[in-house]
Every structure is written in C-alpha cells, then in structure tokens.
Amino acid sequence: MKTKPVLTQGHNLDAGMEAFQKQAWASAYSHLSAADREAPVGPELLVYLAQAALLLGKDTEGADILARAHQEFLQKGQIQPAVRCAFWLGFTALTNQETAKAGGWLARANRLLEQESDCVERGYLLLPNGYGAVHGGDPATAYAIFLEAGAVGKRFADKDLMAIALHAAGLDAEEVIRQKFEEAARGDPEAAYCSNSCTTTAPSATACRSPPASSKAHVATWCATA
C-alpha cells in the first residue's frame, strides 16, 4: 500500500500560492493552512490565507487570521499594511452589519494613520464615512466623500480604490477610469479628476450605492501590496 507523501512547508507554500493565483480557494486554503501549522508564516502570507478562508465562507476564521496579520505587521513596524488589515476587518464587518466591531477596527486604523505621511490608505478610510452619509440620508455629502476617495485612488494609481469609490458614487467606474488613465497617458494638463466627465451636481438619494458584496475579494490583493 502506497502512502501519500508528506509535503514540507516550502512545498505547501508553493502549492498554496499557485492555487491562489488560479483562484482555487479550497486548495489554497488547505496548503497555506498546512504550512502555517508546520511553522507560523509571515503576515504577508497570512493575508492570502485570510482571503482564501473568507471566500470559502469561513468568515470567523478569516477575520481571526487577518487580525493576526494586523498584529504581526504592527510588531514589524509596518504601519500601512497593518492599517490595510484593520480597514478590511472593519469594512467587512460593516458589510455584515456588525457595526460595533466595524467601528472598533476602523477607529484603530484611523489612529494608526495619525502619524503617517499621505498614503492611499487614507482614501480607503474615507469609504465608510461615505456609506455612513448614504445611510444617514445625506447623498450630497456621500457623493463628495466618494469623489474625494476616488481622487486619492487616482493620485496613487490605485484602480481598486477608484473603482469602489466611483461605484459607490453611482458612476460608471470602468468608463471614468479608462478616460482618466488615457488622459494621464497623453499628459493632458486639463485631466483633473472628475472635471468634465463626472457630474458635479448633488445626486439623488438612490444614486449612491451600498458597500459591494464582493468586498472580501479585495482583501488579500490590497493588504499584501506594500
């Protein structure tokens, strides 16, 4: 009777990341979990494991893993990746209507950024304020916040932030992003963010949108990007 070969941590890591790139979430989760059990992996890999867990519906486990990554980033003095983890923990809790948990994580993320220089994370942390204005019945304020978040995304060439912000504002994110990147490529001095191609009038109460249900899918790619 043949026995199944035991994979080393290195083999599990390689297999897990290969599966992740193929979006084979169950395989990625299995291999990365095995690697982490053999010897704790670093926070960069933990965020991939967290996303695989979240996309398999393991919400509690995924959040616990992401919280662990957050703490390990802090211990390494890597504040911005730690903020990313805290943001996504808060934002995911927000989409799940866990307002107390969301508030705690988002408040922590904002505190950590107080001493940091200008960075794309500040744009992401505007998003919950926009959604709060939506649910508070103030679409004009929400719209302005989402456009500000989108402008931060443009400044840091972060297409994910631009897409989320413009979607939330009720705009055609893909078309606006395409136009703005084309203008930037031409070196157009008039290509100010949302100058003529985006409406500047206050939207109706239904124009701004709720947080996207697919927010979990952004966790690993954003948290793992330094």
Q: Closest by alpha carbon to 43, among 32, 57, 27?
A: 32
Q: How far apart are CA 187 and CA 69, in angstroms?
A: 39
- The domain spanning residue 1 has which CATH number? 1.25.40
Domain range holding 25? 1-77
Domain identity same for 20 and 102: no
Sign of CA dihedral 44, 65, 53, 153: negative
The answer on pLDDT for 167 being more than 60 is: yes
Of the three residues 54, 77, 100, the one that is the final residue of a domain is: 77
Q: Check whether 128 has a pLDDT greater than 50.
A: yes
Tokens of 5: 């070969």
- In what helix (H) or strand (E) does residue 46 lie, and over which residues does it extend? helix 43-55
Q: Which helix (H) or strand (E) holds 29?
A: helix 25-38
Looking at the structure, tell me whether residues 24 and 57 fall in a common domain: yes
User: Are 97 and 203 within one domain?
Assistant: yes
Q: What is the DSSP track for 148-196?
A: HHHHHHHHTT-HHHHHHHHHHTTS-HHHHHHHHHHHHHHT-TT--TTSS
Reported confidence tier of residue 3, pLDDT bands at 50, 70, 90: very low
Boundary of a domain, candidates 42, 77, 112: 77
Does one domain contain both 110 and 139?
yes
CB-CB neighbours of 5 under 10 Å = 7
- 88-122 residue pLDDT tens: 999 989 888 899 999 999 999 999 999 888 899 99
Picking from 77, 98, 127, the residue at the C-terminal end of a domain is 77
Domain count of the fold of the chain? 2
Q: Are residues 13 and 122 in the same domain?
A: no
Predicted structure pTM score: 0.75
**Domain match, 50 and 138 both:** no
What is the per-residue pLDDT across 22-80, written as a single tens digit (0 to 9) for each? 999 999 999 999 999 999 999 999 999 999 999 999 999 999 999 999 999 999 999 99
The rounded distance, in Å, linking the Cα atoms of 181 and 196 is 15
Q: Could you tell me if 71 and 86 lie in one domain?
A: no
Do 22 and 117 sit in the same domain of this protein? no
Q: Are residues 6 and 38 in the same domain?
A: yes
Residues 123 and 166 in one domain: yes
Beta strands in 26-66 (DSSP E): none
Do 66 and 118 belong to one domain? no
> Do 73 and 167 reside in the same domain of the chain?
no
Rounded Cα–Cα distance for residues 70 and 81 (Å) = 7
CB 15 within 8 A of CB 7: yes
